[in-house]
Structure 1
Amino acid sequence: MELVVAGALSFCLDLLLGDPGWIPHPVVWMGRAISGLEERLRRIFPKTTRGEWAAGALLAILLPAGTLALTFSVLWLAGQIHPGLRFFLEVFWGWQALAVRGLGKESSRVYRALREGTLEQAQQAVARIVGRDTQRLDRAGVTRAAVETVAENFSDGVAAPLFYFFLGGAPLALCYKAINTMDSMVGYRNERYLYFGRWAARLDDGANWLPARLSALLLVAAAWLLGEDGRGAWRIWRRDRRNHASPNAAQTEAAMAGALGVQLAGPAWYFGIRVEKPTIGEHQRPIVPEDILRSNRLLYGGSVLCLGVLIGLRCALVLGGGIG
């Protein structure tokens, strides 16, 4: 039951404190490791399709495996010193693996810029949380990008880390964050990363397959409970959950689009190139900045539901199989 208590405390800390900038974050170190490894691996392997593919495969092995081994070793050493120190680190790293408050805070920043600032300020605010070219977005495009990010990152930044934490503690949760960070840095289908980033992208797809589907169902449930269109969330999820090049991204976006009664996705610009993507949801009405706040309500509601479901499953495993 120790892991249940640690997970609940990590979640509460994230809700209360978010991600204080003065505390070193593992994702920052992961990003530096990815950049350093990429530079070295590109020098070692030949600059051919096969060479880039092999270099990317080695990166996809080294970073998650290294993160898992390092985190597990530190926790083991802490446990040898004192069980309380190990528990503290478990809670601390679990907290750092989550991004509920941070995601809500950043998306709310976009909302305030849309309501009180200029379009340029709104574009700059949304650029902090999306990977697309934001200077081409109008006000509706900025709003749509923010809502899509809340939906997708409910899985990547909340449900998936919680899922892996309750499965294997902080080592597995941070291993997942390493995979997700690697994908966000090199998992692009452009000239530079088409082959080098292929393994990172596939590994992220595999790691997110189950959490993404769990997240979508949780958003549907949250829509029912919070007075949004739960029926629409269920219907659009079932219809549009595959409307994306990624096998996972449209899962939560479809549920969110149906719950809010808006249309998401569609063509977008990345690194100066227009990428044609199918739409998700139905254009029942124009999207408005207040939809960002509604998406945040679903984010928080779905997050609490996720914690409850995973605690219930973990307790059932403990009581049924005698695991800790």
Structure 2
Amino acid sequence: MGGAALTAMAVLAGAFALDLLIGDPRWIPHPVIQMGKAIKALENGIRRQFRPEQFKLAGILLPVVVAGGALIVTWALLKVLNAIHPWLGWAAEAVLIATTIAVKGLKDAGMEVYRHLAAGDLPAARRSLGMIVGRETSHLDEPEIVRGTVETVAENIVDAVISPLLYALIGGAPLAMAYRAVNTLDSMVGYKNEKYIHLGWASARLDDIANWIPARLTALLLTASAFILRMKGRRAWRTMRRDARKHPSPNSGFPESTVAGALGIRLGGVNVYHGVESFRAYMGDALRPMESRDILLANRLLLTVSVLFVLLALLAVWAAGGALWT
């Protein structure tokens, strides 16, 4: 195995380990914050310079400028740092990739809700859930809090773990950062409401495309993880095949339905957004009532899927001799 492969493997493994150990400390400036500022500034500029009937065409500028800019800036930064010293470039690449993934952050968010439920503090659990979901949480009982938490952990395995790691595997930190820009765009402007239906359509569509393969890969890895953890692996696969496409998102249904099958619970149901009820198709079968322990089980699946993918990624780098992006 050559030095290029060892370097690429060390960078990927280091990025994953860094995220697991420290996550995203608030005292460290995060690239997503800068992306958010850039998106808002560009959106304001488009609204000033274009007429509403031009927003659909102008909306293409958002992913081109923001995602393209993230890729170019990251590539240029690494080029400069590698010129100073290769080790500096490698360390920076690992740190940058780590900022695009959020295994620890996702796990901790679920655990915060779980701890409040375990203490019997429903108001605190509702508030913690409200920090990570868009639905209203002030009225939810314990099973609905559990449902919201499990759905969030399951859905975000794709865009917080598998997608950024896959793009890092293919194109290093520049491509991973471009993916994170696309995902941030979708979270800020990818809504089908009156304000963003034209301006945000390109960002939303690109996010769907970027997550299409990772979402289906996640379902496969979740099924494998269910077998490894001695959960309901076969039911996870069958449930995914049956229910994944019921979700309004072309991608979110794959991890959610697979997790539902693995745990033997039913996800989906009525959510309330800004006072308006919205029904999401049921996924999985209610073989038993949902309980707070399901959050722990969802987190176990999250960690197992993450480790499994990293091991496969390292194997891919080794097999390619490091030629994927070094």
Q: TM-score, normalised by structure 2?
A: 0.95
1:43 is matched with which residue: 43, 48, 53? 48
Quote the residue 1:11 is aligned against: 16
Q: Determine if contact 1:219/1:302 at 8 Å carries over to the other structure.
A: yes
Q: Determine if contact 2:172/2:325 at 8 Å carries over to the other structure.
A: no
Quote the residue 1:201 is aligned against: 204
Residue 96 of structure 1, CA deviation = 1.0
Taking the aligned partners of 1:209 and 1:303, their CA distance within structure 2 comes to: 18
Q: Determine if contact 1:317/1:323 at 8 Å carries over to the other structure.
A: no
1:230 is matched with which residue: 229, 233, 243? 233
Q: How does 1:180-259 map to 2 (within 5 A)?
A: 180-259=183-262
The 3-state SS of whatever aligns with 1:278 is: strand
Taking the aligned partners of 2:179 and 2:139, their CA distance within structure 1 comes to: 32
Q: Determine if contact 2:15/2:94 at 8 Å carries over to the other structure.
A: yes
Residue 322 of structure 1, CA deviation = 8.6
Q: Structure 1: which amino acid aligns with 2:269?
A: G
Taking the aligned partners of 1:121 and 1:290, their CA distance within structure 2 comes to: 17
2:158 is matched with which residue: 131, 148, 155? 155
Q: Structure 2: which amino acid aligns with 1:112?
A: R
4+ residue segments displaced more than 6 Å: none
Choose between structure 1 and 2 for higher RCO, CA contacts under 8 A separated by at least 6 residues.
2
Residue 285 of structure 1, CA deviation = 1.4
Tell me if 1:28 matches 2:33. Answer: yes
Q: Determine if contact 2:247/2:253 at 8 Å carries over to the other structure.
A: yes
Residue 274 of structure 1, CA deviation = 2.0
Q: Structure 1: which amino acid aligns with 2:74?
A: T
1:284 is matched with which residue: 283, 287, 293? 287
Residue 4 of structure 1, CA deviation = 1.8
Q: Structure 1: which amino acid aligns with 2:68?
A: A
Taking the aligned partners of 1:39 and 1:270, their CA distance within structure 2 comes to: 25
Residue 314 of structure 1, CA deviation = 2.3
Quote the residue 2:135 is aligned against: 132
Runs of at least 5 residues in structure 1 that lack an aligned partner in the other structure:
none
Number of aligned positions between the proteins: 321
Q: TM-score, normalised by structure 1?
A: 0.95
Q: Structure 2: which amino acid aligns with 1:36?
A: A
Quote the residue 2:90 is aligned against: 87
Taking the aligned partners of 1:203 and 1:272, their CA distance within structure 2 comes to: 29
Deviations along 1:23-62, whole A, 9 cap, x unmatched?
11111111111112111111111123xx221232211211
Residue 265 of structure 1, CA deviation = 1.7
Which has the larger displacement, 66-75 or 259-268? 259-268
Q: Determine if contact 2:170/2:325 at 8 Å carries over to the other structure.
A: no
Taking the aligned partners of 1:143 and 1:122, their CA distance within structure 2 comes to: 9
Deviations along 1:131-163, whole A, 9 cap, x unmatched?
222224322211111101111111110111110
Q: Determine if contact 2:163/2:211 at 8 Å carries over to the other structure.
A: yes
Q: Determine if contact 1:38/1:59 at 8 Å carries over to the other structure.
A: yes
Residue 323 of structure 1, CA deviation = 6.9
